[in-house]
Structure 1
Amino acid sequence: MTVANSTAGGLAGLRAAIPLLATRAYLFSGGIAPLAGPVRTELATWVDQWAADPLVHRADYFGAWGRLRDEFAQLVGADPDEVAVTENTSRATNLALRLLGLPAGSTVLVDDTTYPTMAWAAISHGLRVRQVRPTPGQAPVDAFAAALDAGTSCVAVSHVSALDGYRHDLAALAGLAADRGVRLLVDVAQSAGVVPVDLRRDGIDALVGTAMKWLLGPPGVGFLAVRAEAVAADGCPDVGYVSARIGDTYQLTELPQLPTGATRTEVGLAALPLLAAATAGIRLIRDAGVATIAGQVERLVQRVCAGLASQGVPVDSPRDSATRAGIVVLRVPAATQLADQLRRGGVDVWGYPSGRVRVDPHGFNDDDDIDRLLAGIAAFRTGNDR
């Protein structure tokens, strides 16, 4: 079953770029993206050039780096100098906290959406962490407002929760943070690429993310973006020859002039073979259009939720489209067995021993993928009822 829509051209092109989809319904982009043709080409080209003439890459270390930084900056509404390429989201989170220069002993407010690395990194940086738990029916922003006091320096959340797909209202959180004079740190690993995000429009002080999920890039590449006005003067003391921007001459006994923004955290070479590959992934997303992808994802999520409801399968994810994104979490006995059976049938999701199955539709997915998923779940449940 295929439903036509006015954005089919861009989404069809995105789907065509991923060979795996010719035979499989891949529905776990929030874990690791399927390999797209242009991403694979960039990886293979780097290796081939390395084998034939290593100096080709030596001459363009920073060209590929800058192109990736520019692509991510455009994706999230930042200036290139406000963006740094890192190894992963966790590294980016630690760097963001250092750049923000939050006062030692001050409090960082988190909630159930907050990826654990953000809380653990705050503790390791000498900060206190307090978890906010909204009461039933209470908006998260109101729960944060009630918990925020004079000792609070930052609100830290995952834009979209990996646990159930809940999506925060960033504008509301940013308004609260601005009113109370605290920083807003956002993990966009589960939203960048499938939910429009803009550093300035959304009032975010710092955001962190990864290439390997919804951005269709390879593992080993993360991102950090910090608004220039939010960077503390002494927020990141690490230094290396990349951040020092040294030329052919330098003084060993004098610290060079360092950049003032996020790029100062890039102290040594990145994983060079991955830079152009990550750039290719982001370009696929931007060519299709994040808003277009978001619309397709919401439509497919609605189909998943409706199909599960018709089967009587409980869903943990929010029912309101304004507070969810591309993650659907369903509750079933024998979740890992269900995921294994679906994989054998050509449908890729993820099952957890706790009885949860996660389904992550992307813009490249279509109605046939959802039909295969729902049919596979129905077959599994029928078989288990015998």
Structure 2
Amino acid sequence: MAHQRHDRFLTQTPLDRAQFSGTQEYTYLNHAAVGVLPSRTRSALQTFIDAHAGSGVMGAWPYEARLPEYRAAVAAFINAKPAEIALLRNTGDGANVLAHGIDWQEGDEIVTADNEFPANVYPWLQCRRYGVNVRFVRTERERMTPDVLARTMTSRTRLVSVSWVSFADGYRHDLTALAQVAHRGGALLCVDVIQGLGALPIDVQAMGVDAAYGGGAKWLMALQGVSFLYVREPLLDRLRLAWPGWRSAADMWDFLDYDQPATAAASRFEGGTPNIIGALSLAESIAELKRPNVEAHVLALTDQLAEGLHSIGARILSRRGAGVSSAILLFTLPGCDSIAVGRALQEEQIVTTYRSNGVRVAPHGYNTPEEIGRLLEVTARARTFLKSA
């Protein structure tokens, strides 16, 4: 059972620690898995639930009517237009809209990497049914840098898909440069942003990203089961609507006009009734995340972590440096089982992700240098204990 402790870590942080009640009990460094709901988001959700429970449609409808507001919140956060945003369920939903919406031709190619999370692979593999060849950059030899992409693309490459930040080790791709290479070759750049957005800022217009998609439950600190899709306006008209629903119609309240066209906005990809409470959580958490210096803070924390781990003999598996570092760091302790290291941290209420390939640490804008110091202290003790066991 987790023990109660006072929040001793009073260092000023970009995000208000008072919004995150778990800081009283845990050192939570696992936002690459699931983020923590801010208190303002929890309060908004409770108000919605009470309204729904108390008066049914009369309580729920005002929140459904705010869906344009929720899309606008996402749009403003990434510098897009509200009409370019759809609210979906998960990251894979966004990729699937694109995979089944493009008018593929036999022999077309998709380029992606072989270390992508499955949500950004399985949708593209389904394009093989259209005669599309899916080609993988072999990341054990090289990352998807602009030079690598330029060598990999051919005259048949129509789409490049990459995670902005790798789920495995936090490598951050240069989206602006990748977009330039893709566009020179006549291809689209479609990006899974789930492991970056919320900790790192993105400007989809300035970067030249054609489509972006990501779930809200990690760095965006919303509920699970809600995501968004951004599609650049010129691409919207070219995408087939593979899964229409009643809300896809231009006038969704004209129930019996089955011949009417779909709405021109990206919201047509939402199909039926969306996850309204999830969309509310996404908008509320984005409002909390719109604070300056979050990126600088999380990069400073992971720099502190990397330096401290080096000093105790750990191996840093994440590539570090300007433009490639993110809020995720993966490490191992030579001679120690990573799962055992992760469990030792968890016994001290320090929450990370740990697998056989390493311990993944993912701080956010409310975490403190003192918390990183505590993780380093426990890791050093675990190294001594596990090596002598």
* Residue type at the aligned position of 2:236: V
Is the Cα contact below 8 Å between 2:21 and 2:39 reproduced in 1? yes
Counting only pairs closer than 5 Å after superposition, residues 188-267 of structure 1 correspond to structure 2 as 188-246=193-251, 248-251=253-256, 254-267=258-271
Aligned to 1:49: 51
Aligned to 2:80: 78
2:379 pairs with 1:337: no
Question: What is the deviation of 1:99?
Answer: 3.8
* Residue type at the aligned position of 1:346: Q
Query: 1:267 & 1:83 partners in 2: Cα distance?
Result: 13
What SS is found at the alignment partner of 2:379?
A: helix
Query: 2:159 & 2:245 partners in 1: Cα distance?
Result: 29
Query: 2:332 & 2:350 partners in 1: Cα distance?
Result: 18
What SS is found at the alignment partner of 2:385?
A: helix
> Cα deviation per residue 1:298-331 (whole Å; 9 max; x = unaligned)?
0000001001000110011012132120110012
Query: 1:269 & 1:369 partners in 2: Cα distance?
Result: 42
Query: 2:224 & 2:233 partners in 1: Cα distance?
Result: 27
* Residue type at the aligned position of 1:312: G
Bigger drift between 305-314 and 40-49 goes to 40-49
2:282 pairs with 1:281: no
What SS is found at the alignment partner of 1:373?
A: helix
2:276 pairs with 1:272: yes
Query: 1:191 & 1:39 partners in 2: Cα distance?
Result: 20
Query: 1:161 & 1:247 partners in 2: Cα distance?
Result: 39
Aligned to 1:122: 124
What SS is found at the alignment partner of 1:323?
A: coil
Is the Cα contact below 8 Å between 2:87 and 2:274 reproduced in 1? yes
Counting only pairs closer than 5 Å after superposition, residues 4-43 of structure 1 correspond to structure 2 as 8=12, 11-13=14-16, 15-43=17-45
Bigger drift between 166-175 and 101-110 goes to 101-110
Query: 1:247 & 1:123 partners in 2: Cα distance?
Result: 33
Query: 2:377 & 2:277 partners in 1: Cα distance?
Result: 40
Question: What is the deviation of 1:2?
Answer: 7.1
Bigger drift between 37-46 and 254-263 goes to 254-263
Candidates 94, 97, 108, aligned match of 2:96: 94
What SS is found at the alignment partner of 1:376?
A: helix
What SS is found at the alignment partner of 2:100?
A: helix
> Cα deviation per residue 1:18-59 (whole Å; 9 max; x = unaligned)?
010123210010110012211211221121111211123443
Question: What is the deviation of 1:3?
Answer: 9.8
Question: What is the deviation of 1:193?
Answer: 1.2
Candidates 144, 149, 161, aligned match of 2:154: 149
Query: 2:265 & 2:306 partners in 1: Cα distance?
Result: 43
> Cα deviation per residue 1:241-297 (whole Å; 9 max; x = unaligned)?
111154554435x322212242110111112222222211111111x23xx110001
* Residue type at the aligned position of 2:267: T
- Cα RMSD after superposing both structures: 2.1
> Cα deviation per residue 1:120-177 (whole Å; 9 max; x = unaligned)?
2112123321112368678721111011111111111000001111100111101111
Query: 2:106 & 2:67 partners in 1: Cα distance?
Result: 33
Cα–Cα, structure 1 residues 295 and 335, in superposed 2: closer, same or farther, change >3 Å? same
Bigger drift between 91-100 and 263-272 goes to 91-100
Aligned to 2:113: 111
Cα–Cα, structure 1 residues 244 and 304, in superposed 2: closer, same or farther, change >3 Å? same
* Residue type at the aligned position of 2:145: P
What SS is found at the alignment partner of 1:363?
A: coil
Aligned to 1:319: 320
> Structure 1 length as normaliser, TM-score?
0.91
Aligned to 1:328: 329
Gaps of 5+ in 1: none
Candidates 382, 385, 388, aligned match of 1:383: 385
2:302 pairs with 1:297: no
Is the Cα contact below 8 Å between 2:48 and 2:60 reproduced in 1? no
* Residue type at the aligned position of 2:328: I
Query: 1:58 & 1:301 partners in 2: Cα distance?
Result: 42
| Percent sequence identity over aligned pairs | 27
* Residue type at the aligned position of 2:377: A
Cα–Cα, structure 1 residues 99 and 62, in superposed 2: closer, same or farther, change >3 Å? farther
Question: What is the deviation of 1:116?
Answer: 2.7
Query: 1:174 & 1:76 partners in 2: Cα distance?
Result: 16
Bigger drift between 327-336 and 176-185 goes to 327-336
Query: 2:239 & 2:314 partners in 1: Cα distance?
Result: 52
Aligned to 2:184: 179
Query: 1:198 & 1:21 partners in 2: Cα distance?
Result: 31
Gaps of 5+ in 2: 1-7
* Residue type at the aligned position of 2:244: V
Question: What is the deviation of 1:236?
Answer: 1.6
Cα–Cα, structure 1 residues 100 and 34, in superposed 2: closer, same or farther, change >3 Å? same
Cα–Cα, structure 1 residues 72 and 64, in superposed 2: closer, same or farther, change >3 Å? same
Is the Cα contact below 8 Å between 2:246 and 2:252 reproduced in 1? no
